[in-house]
Amino acid sequence: MIKILIKNIKALLQVGEEIPAVLRGKEMATVPQIENAYLALEDGVVVAYGSMDDWEGISDWRDLEIIDAEGKYVLPAFCDSHTHLVFARSREEEFVDRIKGLTYEEIALKGGGILNSARRLGEMSEEELFEQATKRLNLLKSYGTGAIEIKSGYGLSLQAELKMLRVIKRLKETSGIAIKATFLGAHAFPKEFKENHRAYIDLIIHEMLPAIEKDNLADYIDIFCERNYFSVEEMEEILTAGKKYGLQAKVHVNQFTVMGGIKKAIELGALSVDHLEEISEDDITALKSSTTIPTLLPSCSHFIGIPFGDARRMMDEGLPVSLASDFNPGTTPSGNLAFVWSLACVKMKMTPEEALNALTVNAAYAMGLSETHGKIALGRKSPILITKQIPSIAYIPYAFGDQHIEQIIY
Ligand code: NIG
Ligand code: FE
């Protein structure tokens, strides 16, 4: 058994037995913490914690590793509930096009965007996709990501979607962290189906979903509900079919356009509605009486220059807010959640505590991991972060772009 004692912790954060599964509105303002604390782990499982003042010493020194965390913070690893980590190649030429004035929509309409990534993914072997994704995931882990959701959606054919999902399944087996797989066959209409949406939707419903169920390749289903992509009606049909295969929805909605997709996704039992850079009064009203969590993606807003989600309004209305990276080659070529934390504070006026809650407790909820991730409590086993010596926890989003995590315990 590997026993670890972390002592003299400047503050142990997001700790306690009573932290709810999801934090709404004002509840997001505080993060429970113990100053001058210790934390004891056995094979990664939390067996004791408390104030150093109450510490009773060590009765059994055998096989015990002691970590002195003087001046350092200890907190649960971040959860990233929305990523497109598996892809074939970066798309910096579109980045340059945007600098020169084209919009995301214009680039997509001239053959760039999701279809660009799908073309490249089709040509890449499963092995190489897996190797590249593993490298990316290792980098994200070093930034503090301790659980991650990964979507398909750059395949857009039966074979290529299954290939992506098999890569995600292999990552689940090899990465050592919790991974959720989301089927996003409805990410865009492939070129050959541009004039025949019916045929592609049939392919998703009658071929892709059964094949995914057969090999147990997905935990959730997603769709890009947006002008020029999938309509609210098409979303209803696809999510309803997904439900029959036991897949709960997590959807891309309101990134550029308010179309009524939030309300419909809630009706269909979505766990999360993601993006929400655009939002209407009706959307807020629908969210208020639901268990669906809004997930905001500030790195995407930053990178393609669109509005930031209105986290303050949502919290003032009593809603929960979760934050994720949206890591993908088109709109968010960074999966660094410490940077997301900083953007949430600077651009969305979330306090450091609100944003930390959105990256831990609420992010775990947004990917169905409330029971295991997002907080430190007795009997739990999930990754734990030890920071470098820093003056305060707000220093992490404040001193953006630097690495403040010193060690991760799995
Ligand atoms: O979440 N908006 C849809 N999907 C991705 C972008 C996909 C791409 O451009 O490759 C997103 O931003
Ligand atoms: Fe996305």
Q: How many CA atoms lie within 13 A of 189 on its CB side?
A: 22
Residue of the CA atom closest to atom 8 of ligand 1: 330
- pLDDT over 80 at 61, yes or no: no
Q: Indicate the pairing of strand 72-76 with strand 322-323.
A: unpaired
Q: Tell me which of 94, 152, 164, 187 to substitute to probe ligand 1's pocket, judged by most ligand atoms within 8 Å of the beta carbon.
A: 187
Q: Is 275 in the same domain as 349?
A: yes
- One domain for residues 202 and 261: yes
Strands 145-151 and 78-80: parallel
Q: Are residues 127 and 49 in the same domain?
A: no
CA of 29 relative to ligand 1 center, distance in Å = 30
| Average pLDDT of span 143-163 | 98
- Give residue-wise pLDDT tens across range 270-286: 999 999 999 999 999 99
**Token pair recorded at residue 181:** 């797989």
33-61 mean pLDDT: 92
Q: Specify whether 308 is located in the same domain as 190.
A: yes
When divided into structural domains, the chain yields a total of: 2
- Locate the ligand 1 atom nearest the alpha carbon of residue 91 and give its number: 10
Q: Are residues 146 and 114 in the same domain?
A: yes
- The residue segments making up the domain with residue 359 are 78-366
| Amino acid at position 53, single letter | D
Q: Does one domain contain both 124 and 71?
A: no
Q: Are residues 310 and 335 in the same domain?
A: yes
Ligand positioned closest to the Cα atom of 302? 1
pLDDT confidence bin for 57, thresholds 50/70/90: confident
User: Band of the pLDDT at 50, cuts 50, 70, 90?
Assistant: very high
Q: How far is the CA of 254 from the centre of ligand 1 (A)?
A: 12
- Ligand 1 atom nearest the C-alpha of 113 is 9
DSSP string, 338-399: HHHHHHHHHHH---HHHHHHHHTHHHHHHTT-TTTSSSB-TT----EEEEEE-S-TTHHHHS
Taking residue 165's Cβ as centre, other Cβ atoms within 10 Å add up to 27
Write out the residues surrounding ion ligand 2, Cβ under 5 A.
Answer: 326
How far away, in angstroms, is 35 Cα from ligand 2 center? 37
Asked if 72 and 87 sit in the same domain, the reply is: no
Give the span between the Cα atoms of 349 and 85, in whole angstroms.
Answer: 27
Dihedral angle of Cα 52, 58, 64, 69, to the nearest 10 degrees = 10
Distance 328 CA to ligand 1 centre (A): 7
Residue 110 or residue 350, greater confidence: 350
The atom number, within ligand 1, closest to the CA of 330 reads 9
* Closest atom of ligand 1 to CA, residue 226: 2
CB-defined site of ligand 1, < 6 Å: 113-114, 117, 224, 252, 255, 300, 326, 328-331
CATH code of 41's domain: 2.30.40.10
Continuous segment of H or E residues that includes residue 287: helix 281-288
Residue 286 structure tokens = 């629908």
Same domain, 241 and 136: yes
Please tell me the distance between residue 330's alpha carbon and the centre of ligand 2 in angstroms.
9
Q: Tell me, yes or no, whether 31 and 126 share the same domain.
A: no
Ligand number nearest to the C-alpha of 253: 1
Task: Kindly indicate the confidence band of residue 313, based on its pLDDT and cuts at 50, 70 and 90.
Answer: very high
Measured in Å, residue 252 CA sits from the centre of ligand 1 at 9
- 262/145 same-domain check: yes
Give me ligand 2 centre to Cα 83, in Å: 6
Any idea what the CATH number is for the domain that residue 176 is in? 3.20.20.140
Do 197 and 67 belong to one domain? Answer: no
Looking at the CA of residue 255, tell me the nearest atom of ligand 1.
2
Question: pTM above the 0.75 mark?
Answer: yes
Given 331, 347, 366, the domain boundary residue is 366
